[in-house]
Structure formats: structure tokens, C-alpha cells
Structure 1
Amino acid sequence: MKARNVKALRRQQAQERRRQQWEAARDFTRECGEVMLSLPFDYSCLFTCEEAESVAALFRAFGGDEAQIQELIDAHSVDDEPGEQHHRCTDTCRESCTTQTEEVTPC
């Protein structure tokens, strides 16, 4: 094969891999979205902040329901501690929130 044909073939193969990856991610969010978004509620599955944000970003990228995505973040935030990304202060932790962070996370 000529070098030009080899480059064209590699480019086509790379495009095909990207298409397959995109379709797999799209199909995953469609087919497994409800299960993934219900994990914190159904199985007491706790996500780290990074995991919760990653799942949320994946579902947003493929048109996920924003209300369900926010529910996932909200479920995750219940176990966040003061100073963590999604923590929400309550009356019981307000004092520790103000001592550990410069400003109080909104309730």
C-alpha cells in the first residue's frame, strides 16, 4: 500500500473507533441512566464528589434529565462533610461549616 492509502485507512479506523465510543456512551446513558441515577437511593451507594460530577457530566453530554441529575448530586451531598464540594450546611453543622470554610455553604 502507498503511504497515502495507509494514512487514509488509519484515519478511517480512528473515526470509526470514535463513532463506536460515542454510540456506546450514548446507549449507556439511555439504557442504564435510570439505574445509575438511582444507585444512591436504592443501594445506599455513595459517590465521591468526583464520581458524582463525572456521572452528571456524562448524562448531561447525552441529554440526560437535568432533574434526575440534580437528584443524584443532592443524594450524594447528604454525606459530604464541611469543606467538600457539594456539602450543604444544616443547623447541626453550621458552626463547623463557618470554622472550616471562609463562607457558609448555602442551605
Structure 2
Amino acid sequence: DAIGPEPPASPGDGLGQFDRLPPDAQLLLFSPLCDDAILDVVRTIRSSGAAVTVVSPDPTTTAYPAGAIAHLERSLRIDALHNAGVSVVDWAWDRPLEDVLRRTR
């Protein structure tokens, strides 16, 4: 499971500050989801008992082959987060954030 309930195995990951969150905390995490490292961050936050919503501005393009691959990889990360019960707000750069957030209510 890419986003299981267990925190990452590496004790030197610098994510220990999430242990101090109150269990009813709700965090907004802004990330373009361009690599898998963010999945460990979300896993760590969730293991602390806090809820997390990812707001993800989309920097990818499908105009070029490399961009299309990056777009697909990002989509797979969003799917993994959704499958783990994490809310993701997928934010296209050409839309005002306020409109995107209003649409996701």
C-alpha cells in the first residue's frame, strides 16, 4: 500500500514534528505531487492521527512526451492518495484556487 497507516521507516526523515500534532488536527498540504517523496509525508501525517487534505497545483503538460509521462505519474499519485482515503484537490494553474476549492465542497 503506497499510503498505508505506517510512517516511513527512515528515522532521519525530518518528519518527527508531526508526532506533536493533536489527533484531531486537519492539515492542508500543498504539493504538486511531482515525486513519490510526498507519499511518505502523507503517510507520516496520517500515522500521527491527523487528517490531511492535499491541495495540488498541476505543473504538468501533455504537450511533450516527457510532460505526458510526468502527468501520468502525477495522476497515479493522486489515485494512490484517493484510494487511501486522502482528499486531494487537483488544481489546474489556469483556475483560481478559490474556484477550485468552492467546486470541491
Q: TM above 0.5, one fold?
A: no
TM range (shorter): 0.3 to 0.5
Select the structure with the greater relative contact order (CA < 8 A; seq sep ≥ 6). 2
Which TM-score applies when normalising by structure 1?
0.32
In terms of Rg, which structure is larger?
A: 1
